[in-house]
Amino acid sequence: MNEQIWALWTGLGLITLALLMGVLSWQYQRRSWNGGRCRRCRHAWVYFETDNSRGFGFKCQCKRVCWVSFRSVMQQPEDFGGQ
């Protein structure tokens, strides 16, 4: 019985960890994307490549690079004038 409870809690812990990692990754990418603008020079990100895992690569005039793998990060209301 104790082994079954241990397996259940371990499974729930791993699922919780995976969800937490996904949320943190999404938030990090959203912060990096910054509404489509570079945080340093404030110029718009320019698309340059899609990697083999469907991540989108963007660069700005100051040579910084931003990789985004969640499309929802790029489609936030603030990207379109807050509407």
pLDDT averaged per 10 residues, the chain (length 83): 86 95 93 89 91 90 91 65 40
pTM over 0.75, yes/no:
no
Structure tokens at 3: 């082994």
Please report the pLDDT score of residue 76 as a whole number. Answer: 57
Q: Which residues contact 32 (CB under 8 A, 6 or more apart)?
A: 39, 66, 67, 68
- What sign does the CA torsion over 65, 55, 43, 81 have? negative
Q: Which two tokens stand for residue 80?
A: 């379109």
